[in-house]
Amino acid sequence: MGELTRKEVIQLLAVASGDDAGVRLSGVDLSDLDMRGLCFRRADLRMANMSGALLNRADLRRADLAGANLSRAILNESDLSGANLAGAVLHDARLVKVGMREAQLNAIDAAGADLHDADLTDARLNLADLSSADLSRAILTRARLNKAQLGGADLVDARLQNADLAEANLDLANCTRANLNHAYLQRASFIEAILAWCNLRDANLSEAILLRADMTSADCSRAILRAAQMRGVILRETNLSEATLRDAQVEDSALAYAMLSATIMPGGNTSLDGS
């Protein structure tokens, strides 16, 4: 099946409306097509070319978009809850306020994508490329981002409670005021990242790389920073109460500006209140 018009797509959707499996459009060329508001629920769109398409407010719940090309597509306020986008290309796509709860997004290429205010609760983004993506105010609660590329991403005010970012790359990312409460960040890289005013309470940052990161006024109480690399980190008014810093590589001069109380220090000793 070759390139289709909007009218032909609507006709195909109408024919498939009674089919629980959804319309079958795998490998079809839908590039630059205006498909705003259309219902593709449970549709088979594997390997489809939807680059530059307009899909604002489209219903793509549980659609199969594995390997699809959605580069430069506009999907603002569309619903992709439970959809499969594994390996899809979303380079420079616009997904403002998109719903992607429980979506499968492993190994997607979403570098430079605009996902601000997106709902990615419980989404799987392992090995995803989100370099320089806008994820400000996005909801990523319990999302899985193992080994994801988030270098230079905008995560200002993002919600990442209980998210799994083990071995993720967040170098130069802006995580100002992000909520990473109980997040799993073991061996994640935050080189020169901004973590100012972050909520990192009870987060696991074991062996994380925080070289020259700005953690001004971050709340790291009860956080685990065992063996973390923290040379050049800024800890001005950072709350490290009851945090574990055993074997961490951090200068005493940086710790002098932090709030320490019952903190397990790099050498294994426990700090006294206020010291």
Render pLDDT for 79-123 as a digit per residue (tens, 0 to 9): 999 999 999 999 999 999 999 999 999 999 999 999 999 999 999
Closest by CA to 170, choosing from 146, 188, 187, is 188
**Cβ contact 51:68 at 8 Å:** no
What's the token pair of residue 187?
Answer: 């061996």
Choose between 246 and 10: higher pLDDT.
246
d(CA 138, CA 120): 7
d(CA 132, CA 16): 38
pLDDT band at 13 (very low <50, low <70, confident <90, very high): confident
pLDDT band at 5 (very low <50, low <70, confident <90, very high): confident
Those residues with Cβ within 8 angstroms of residue 74's Cβ, 6 or more apart along the chain or in another chain: 53, 54, 55, 56, 93, 94
Is residue 130 scored above 60 in pLDDT? yes
What's the token pair of residue 92?
Answer: 């420079």
Is residue 210 scored above 70 in pLDDT? yes
Render pLDDT for 158-195 as a digit per residue (tens, 0 to 9): 999 999 999 999 999 999 999 999 999 999 999 999 99
Confidence at residue 275, expressed as pLDDT on a 0 to 100 scale: 47
CA 252 to chain centre: 33
For the chain, the average pLDDT equals: 94
Max CA pair span of the chain: 72
Count of Cβ atoms closer than 10 Å to residue 82 Cβ: 19
